[in-house]
Amino acid sequence: MYTLPLVDRALAIFTVAAVMVGLSIVAVLMRCFVRIYVVRAFGWDDGLMVIALALFIALSTLCMLGPVAGIGHTMKEFQSVPALQKALMWWWLGQMLYLWASAVAKVAIALALLRLAVKQYHRVILWMTIGLVISIGLVFWLVLLFDCKPVSYFWERINFTKSGTCLSADTLIAIAYLYSSLTIVSDFTLGILPACLIWNLQMTRRTKVALAGILSLGAIASIAVVVRLPYLKNYSDPDFLYSTYQIAIWSIMETGLAIVAGCLITLRPLFRWFLDGSSSYRRRRRSGGRIGSKYALSALTGNASTPASQEPRYWRPDIGPEDSTNVVVTSISSPLGQSNVDSSQEDLNPTGGSRHKNQVSVHQSFMISDG
C-alpha cells in the first residue's frame, strides 16, 4: 500500500481530526448520560446529535487516513497517478460527509432551543433556521456531488485517458462563499436567539447572562466558518491537495465545535446531579446510613420561634390565630432532587429566594383540645 509521511500540513490535518473527534465522543457520551440517566428524557435532538457524531467519526477517520494517502502533500511528492487519484477520492468523500455532519449537529442544537421557545415568533425563527441549514446543506451537497460528470471524473481528471467535465473553479468558489455566508447567518441566529428566549424568565440578571452564554455556545462553530473564508479561493489552485489544507482543518473544527458546544448546553444537570449525589453520600456516611430513606417524616407546631413557612397556619389557613398553638401538622416530604421529570425540558425558571431541601407531598393536621 502506497503511503506518504505524516509531516507538515498532512500532520496538522491528522492531529486536528484526532483531537476534535476525541472531544466530540466524550461530549456526546456525557450528553447521553445526562439525558438517559440523570434527566431520563432522551429526545429527538439527542438522537440527532448521536447521528452527527457517527458522521463526524466517519469524516475524522477519512481525515486521518487521507493525509497518509496524500492530502496535504504537493503534487510532486506522488510517485504514481493512481496514488494521486486515491488522495483526491479521499478528499471528495470527506467533503460529502462534512456537509451532513455539520448540518445534523446544527439542527440538533436548534431542536434543543425549541424546547425553551414559548413565543410563536421564536419558534418560527428556529424552524426557519432549521430549514435554512437543511436547504443549504442539501443544495451544496448536490453541487459537489454533480460537480463533475461523471462523478468519478473529480479524481480521474488527472488521467488524460479519461474524459468528462467539471464546473469551473470560479463557479465553485462563488457557491462556497454563498454556502459559508448563509452558514454564518444560521450560526449567529442560534447564538443570539437564546438571549431572547430567557430574557423574560423570572431569574436574576446574573443568572440570565450566564445561562444565555451557555446556550449560545452552539454558535461557536461560526468562528471556524469565518476563519475559513479567506482560504476558499484555494479551490482554484492547481496544487489542490496541498493548498486546501486550511479548508480541511477549519471544516473539521467547525463540525467538531458544533458537536461539543451543542452537548455542553445540556450538561448543567450533570453538575447538579454530581453535587447532590456527593452531598447525599456524605450525609449518609455521617448519619451511619440512617438518612437513606426516600421520604422524611416531620411534625410542625406553632410557637414564637417557628419560621413562617413552618407554622401550622401556613398549611391550614382556615384555622384562627388563637387555635394555631393547638394544632399539629404531620407532613411527609420527598427529596426535591429526586423528583421525576417526564419531559425533556429542563426547569430554567426556578423560584426566587431560598429553596427548601424537601418538597412537601402529604400533610395531615390534628386539633388538640383540653377536653
Query: E strand or H helix at 125, and its extent?
Result: helix 120-145
CB 262 within 8 A of CB 112: yes
The CATH number of the structural domain formed by 8-272 is 1.20.1070
Confidence at residue 25, expressed as pLDDT on a 0 to 100 scale: 96
158: closest CA among 87, 261, 81?
Answer: 81
> Which residues of the chain carry a pLDDT beneath 50?
279-285, 287-301, 304, 335-358
138: closest CA among 174, 165, 102?
Answer: 102
Query: E strand or H helix at 17, and its extent?
Result: helix 8-33
**Pairwise CA distance, residues 208 & 214, whole Å:** 10
Query: E strand or H helix at 367, and its extent?
Result: strand 358-367
- pLDDT tens-digit map of 180-236: 999 999 988 888 887 777 776 666 777 667 767 776 776 778 888 999 999 999 888
Confidence at residue 14, expressed as pLDDT on a 0 to 100 scale: 94
Confidence at residue 250, expressed as pLDDT on a 0 to 100 scale: 93
- pLDDT tens-digit map of 142-162: 998 888 899 989 888 888 888
Confidence at residue 78, expressed as pLDDT on a 0 to 100 scale: 87
CB 187 within 8 A of CB 130: no
Residue length of the chain: 371
**Pairwise CA distance, residues 303 & 60, whole Å:** 68
Confidence at residue 142, expressed as pLDDT on a 0 to 100 scale: 92
Confidence at residue 249, expressed as pLDDT on a 0 to 100 scale: 94
Confidence at residue 29, expressed as pLDDT on a 0 to 100 scale: 94
What residues does each domain of the chain span? 8-272, 293-367
Confidence at residue 347, expressed as pLDDT on a 0 to 100 scale: 45
Confidence at residue 357, expressed as pLDDT on a 0 to 100 scale: 47
Q: What is the mean pLDDT of the chain?
A: 77
CB 71 within 8 A of CB 228: no
